[in-house]
Amino acid sequence: MNHDVITVGGGFAGLSAAMQLGRARRRVLIIDAGLPRNRFADASHGFFGQDGKAPAEIFREAARQVAAYPTVAFIHGEATQAVRDGEGFVVTLADGRTERARKLVLAGGIVDHLPDIPGLKERWGATVLHCPYCHGYEVRDRALGVLANHPMAPHQAEMLPDWGPTTYYTQGKFEPDAETLAVLARRGVAIERQPIVEVLGATPVMEAVRLADGRVVSAEALFVAPRTTLASPLAAQLGCAIDDGMLGPVIRVDDMKATTVPGVFAAGDATTSMHNATFASAGGVIAGVAAHRALIQEDGAVRAAA
C-alpha cells in the first residue's frame, strides 16, 4: 500500500483527521480540490482561536502545521473514484492518477444550492447567510430576514431577533403552525407571506427585497438554509449508507465516524445536518483516531495470524 490512510478533503475535518494520523506516525495522503464550502465568506467566526480569520488563512496555516509531520503528503486534485481493492482501497484522481491506502477518511463536504431568486447567489457568504452563530454578529442591529425554504425555517426565525429586528418570509410555502406563530410574535418577528422575488442593492450589499406583489421592503441581510448535496461521489461509489438529512443527504456514521463500509470513515458537513467549523474539526479528530485504531487492530490480527 502507498499509504495507511487517504483523507479525501483538506478542510476542517480532513486536516484534523490527518493531524491525528500524522502524529501517530502513519503514512497519510490528503487529496484536496481546493474548493472549501466557506470560500465565499471573508471571515470564519465562532471557531475558538480562529475567530475573524479568513478561511483561506486558516487552511494555509493548518496545512503548514500538518505538513510538518514527515509521514503526511498532499495532492491538489479531485478524487473522482474509489473502489475496494483486496484489504484496502484505490482512489482515482481526475487526472488519472491512482493512490492506494488501507483506510479512507471521507471529508469532502457538501455543496449548497440556494433558491433560484435573482440577487441571492451573488451575495452568498456576505449578506445572504446560513448560520446566525457564524455570521449574525457581523450583521447585528440591521434589518434581518429569514427566507424560508424548508419546514424548520420558522425555528431559525425564533433565534434571529437576538441579533436584530427580524422578518420571516414564508415564501407562501412554509407557514408556521399556531404554536410557532405565538412564539414568533413574542419574539417580535414580523411575518411576510408574499414571496421574495428579487434581492436589491449594490452587490454584495443588500438594501431591500422585492416581493411578488411589487412592494420593496427594507432588508440588509437574509438567512437561508440552502439545500445541500454531497460534494464527492465516493461514499455512494463505495456503498456507504446515505441518509436523508434535514437539508440534504448525509453519510451515515457511528459515534466513531465509521461508515457502514468497513475501513471507511467520514467526518464534516457531509455527515450531519448541523454545520459548523468546530463540529467539522472535532469530527475529523474522531475519524482520524478511529482510523488509527482500526490500523492497530488490523496490524495485531496480522501478527497473530503469523
List, for residues 71-83, the tens digit of each pLDDT value.
999 999 999 999 9
Q: Which of 119-128, 208-217, 293-302 has the lowest mean pLDDT?
A: 293-302
d(CA 174, CA 171): 7
Cell of 47: 471557531
Count Cα atoms within 13 angstroms, Cβ side, for 58.
Answer: 26
Has residue 286 got a pLDDT over 80?
yes
Residue found by looking up cell 411578488 in the block: 212
**Per-residue confidence (pLDDT) for residue 1, from 0 to 100:** 59
Count other Cβ atoms within 10 Å, centred on residue 298.
16
Question: Residue 139 in contact with residue 221, Cβ under 8 Å?
Answer: yes
Question: Residue 4 in contact with residue 102, Cβ under 8 Å?
Answer: yes
**Per-residue confidence (pLDDT) for residue 273, from 0 to 100:** 86
d(CA 223, CA 241): 30
CA 110 to chain centroid: 5
Has residue 253 got a pLDDT over 80?
yes
The fold of 115-223 is: FAD/NAD(P)-binding domain (3.50.50)
Cα 141 to Cα 2, 43, 137, 209: the distances in Å are 54, 19, 9, 18
Question: Residue 288 in contact with residue 20, Cβ under 8 Å?
Answer: yes
At 37, the pLDDT band (50, 70, 90 cuts) reads confident
d(CA 297, CA 293): 6
Sign of CA pseudo-dihedral 174, 175, 180, 186: positive
Cell of 170: 414564508
The Cα diameter of the chain in Å comes to 77
At 303, the pLDDT band (50, 70, 90 cuts) reads low
Has residue 305 got a pLDDT over 70?
no
Cell of 110: 457538501
Cell of 226: 440552502
At 84, the pLDDT band (50, 70, 90 cuts) reads very high
Reported as type and span, the H/E element at residue 111 is: strand 110-113
For the stretch 103-120, pLDDT in tens is 999 999 999 999 999 999
Strand-pair partners of 147: 169
d(CA 79, CA 8): 7
**Backbone torsion region of residue 228, taken as left when φ is above 0, otherwise alpha when ψ lies between -120 and 50, otherwise beta:** beta
Give me the chain's average pLDDT, please: 93
Do domains 3-112+227-305 and 115-223 share one topology? The answer is yes
> Which CATH number is 3-112+227-305's, of 3.40.50.2300, 3.30.460.10, 3.50.50.60, 3.40.50.620?
3.50.50.60
Has residue 43 got a pLDDT over 80?
no
d(CA 284, CA 124): 26
At 57, the pLDDT band (50, 70, 90 cuts) reads confident
AA identity, residue 120: L
Burial of 305 (0-12, 13-18, 19+ CB in 10 A): exposed
Q: How many residues does the chain have?
A: 306
pTM metric for this prediction: 0.92
**Domain positions in the chain:** 3-112+227-305, 115-223
